[in-house]
Copies of this chain bind each other. A is one copy, B any other.
């Protein structure tokens, strides 16, 4: 790997923080990019920055909250109530910010061209395929093909999209992270963005399940473990 450099989109959640640790382990010179699209769980961005400090990576937050405001109809940016339960339920479709990954990835490619990086890395995983078309392998392949046309002659000719988790479940990502020593207590998932994780929203539900399935201790502090267990 040697001098290869990567621009990784890191939200501060478990998947993208694991991605950053994996890239570091693979020897990449790392730049972490957080995108503030006006999400309610802005708190996670602080965890992205801590990840960058921990891995001695350079770090930028890019504010595109004006875009988020335009893209109405999403519970992540609007005042619609955040639905509880699994993503794989139809009600969770409301948490989709239209075209979010294409927007974030195209910005990351701009940064990668400017930095002459070889890799844009993102943490899409198999668990997201059901609801989010822009997390699926077909999208990733088409995006990489588009970018090869978009920046032809600019930046590093080797520049490509790297999504090592695209066929992994969230539990398998936790297994990878545990083997790399990722401090998961220093990641943030909850869509509510409270003092501690709520334990009830879609991401909290999937977070807990991932640790359970991976057999990795969950050190997360949840606001209401009991209410969560009761399946509220």
Binding site for B on A (CB under 8 A): 60, 62-64, 66-67, 70-73, 96-103, 105-107, 109-111, 113-114, 133-134, 136, 138-139, 142-143, 145-155
Contacts and interface: CB of A to CB of B under 8 A. Distances in A.
B70 A114 contact: yes
Given A133-B154, A142-B142, A66 B62 contact: yes
A36 to B, nearest CB: 8
A145 B147 contact: no
Contact of A133 (B64, B136, B145, B149): B149
Given A142-B145, A143-B146, A146-B146, A70 B101 contact: no
Contact of A70 (B99, B111, B154): B111
A114 B139 contact: no
B102 A70 contact: no
A98 B148 CA distance: 13
Most buried by B among A107, A148, A151: A107
Tell me how many chains of this kind the complex includes.
2
Contacts of A136: 149
B67 A62 contact: yes
Nearest to A63: B66
A111 to B, nearest CB: 6
A114 B73 CA distance: 7
Contacts of A63: 66
A230 to B, nearest CB: 33
6 contacts: A71-B113, A103-B107, A142-B149, A145-B145, A145-B146, A146-B146
Most interface-central of A70, A73, A101, A111 (chain B CB within 10 A): A70
A133 B152 contact: yes
Nearest to A136: B149
A192 to B, nearest CB: 23
Nearest to A68: B110
Given A64-B66, A145-B142, A97 B71 contact: no
Given A99-B151, A139-B146, A150-B139, A60 B67 contact: no
A155 B72 CA distance: 12
